[in-house]
Amino acid sequence: MSNFLIAGNWKMNCGPSEAKQLSDDLANRWPSGSFQCEVVVSPPSISIPSAVESLEDTDIKVSAQNTHTEDSGAYTGDISTPMIKDAGCTHVIVGHSERREYYGEDNDLVAEKARKVILDDLTAIVCVGEKLDQRKKGEQEKIVMDQLDAVLNKITIDQAKSLVIAYEPVWAIGTGETASPEQAQEMHLFIRNFLKERWNEQRSSEIKILYGGSMKPANAEELLSQNDVDGGLIGGASLKEESFSGIIEIAEKLS
Ligand code: PEP
């Protein structure tokens, strides 16, 4: 299989000085050429320049956590893909459940954002996932399918080379509760098959499907060992060099 993608989502943590410290720690631990997998960190936008500078001589890439659909204009508080690129990022997280929940981002807006990210030659990490009540009602596949369908309708099979999907069951984010490896594999396979039906076997196998939801060194091995789990989107455990590196080490071991 292709290399794992290990992505850290720092959320609204780490201002510029803390981001510099954490990035310096990661740069010391992982000098250029020291891992096979792909590693990305996603600081808050104000801290992107310090992370980019500290990680300059490493293979660790930097992502934004969100973007607007326009290039510029009267959108107070927002940032755009040309700005994100100019700052040295390669990836953008789109449609995180916290954006969907607290900022009312719906499937159409998430899809527009993903399209814009990809059109501007960045990689979109698109988050999908059901809430607890939806899983209890057995609706998880329908929810994820609708979230995914909106995005796939906006991009071509060729553009899908710049698409990463993160399956993040909302009930497992920041709760300490993790989907079981079987639950994760079941949904990842569902997503893989959905991609295959839409496009083809080759493209569906190339698109990385990350698991997100309380991943940490203690559970990363069993999750990353699942056939269709191609990496992780990690919140809490990405805020400490030790725990984030612990997950990278496991991905390296399994590669
Ligand atoms: C996330 O924010 O994408 C996430 C998975 O958070 P945590 O690892 O803290 O559950």
Neighbours of 6 (CB within 10 A): 29
Closest residue CA from atom 6 of ligand 1: 235
Distance between CA 234 and CA 173 in Å, rounded? 9
Q: Hey, what domains does the chain have and what are their CATH numbers?
A: 5-254 (3.20.20.70)
Going from the Cα of 168 to the center of ligand 1, the distance in angstroms, rounded, reads 8
Let me know: does 80 contact 70? Beta carbons within 8 Å: yes
pLDDT of residue 59: 98
Residue pointed to by tokens 């959108």:
75
| Mean pLDDT computed over 145-162 | 98
Choice from 6, 9, 13, 126 to test ligand 1 binding pocket (greatest atom count within 8 A of CB): 9
Q: 63: which strand partners? A: 91
| Mean pLDDT computed over 241-254 | 98
Let me know: does 208 contact 231? Beta carbons within 8 Å: yes
pLDDT of residue 176: 81
pLDDT of residue 200: 96
Statement: residue 239 has pLDDT above 90: yes
Statement: residue 76 has pLDDT above 90: yes
pLDDT of residue 85: 98
Is any ligand 1 atom within 6 A of the Cβ of residue 247? Answer: no
What confidence tens digit (pLDDT) does each residue in 18-50 have? Answer: 999 999 999 999 999 999 999 999 999 999 999
Going from the Cα of 40 to the center of ligand 1, the distance in angstroms, rounded, reads 14
- DSSP codes joined into one string, 164-188: EEEE--GGGSSSS----HHHHHHHH
Is any ligand 1 atom within 6 A of the Cβ of residue 174? Answer: yes
User: Where does the pLDDT of residue 2 fall: very low under 50, low under 70, confident under 90, or very high at 90 and above?
Assistant: low
Closest residue CA from atom 1 of ligand 1: 235
pLDDT of residue 17: 98
Please write down the long-range contacts of 179-186, taking CB distance under 8 Å and 24 or more positions apart: 179/211, 179/213, 181/222, 181/223, 181/225, 181/226, 184/211, 184/223, 184/226, 184/229, 185/226, 185/227, 185/228, 185/229
Statement: residue 1 has pLDDT above 80: no
Going from the Cα of 184 to the center of ligand 1, the distance in angstroms, rounded, reads 14
| Mean pLDDT computed over 148-152 | 98
pLDDT of residue 174: 82
What confidence tens digit (pLDDT) does each residue in 172-200 have? Answer: 988 888 889 999 999 999 999 999 999 99
pLDDT of residue 89: 98
| Mean pLDDT computed over 82-101 | 98
Please indicate whether residue 168 is annotated as part of the active site: yes
- The rounded percent of the chain whose pLDDT value lies above 70 is 99
Distance between CA 246 and CA 68 in Å, rounded? 33
pLDDT of residue 134: 95
Q: Out of 96, 98, 130, 188, which one is annotated catalytic? A: 96
For β-strands 123-128 and 91-94, DSSP reports them as parallel
Q: What is the mean pLDDT of the chain?
A: 97
Going from the Cα of 230 to the center of ligand 1, the distance in angstroms, rounded, reads 16
pLDDT of residue 178: 84
Q: By three-state DSSP, how is residue 153 classified? A: coil
Please indicate whether residue 68 is annotated as part of the active site: no
pLDDT of residue 180: 94
| Mean pLDDT computed over 213-218 | 96
Is any ligand 1 atom within 6 A of the Cβ of residue 107? Answer: no
Choice from 11, 13, 42 to test ligand 1 binding pocket (greatest atom count within 8 A of CB): 11
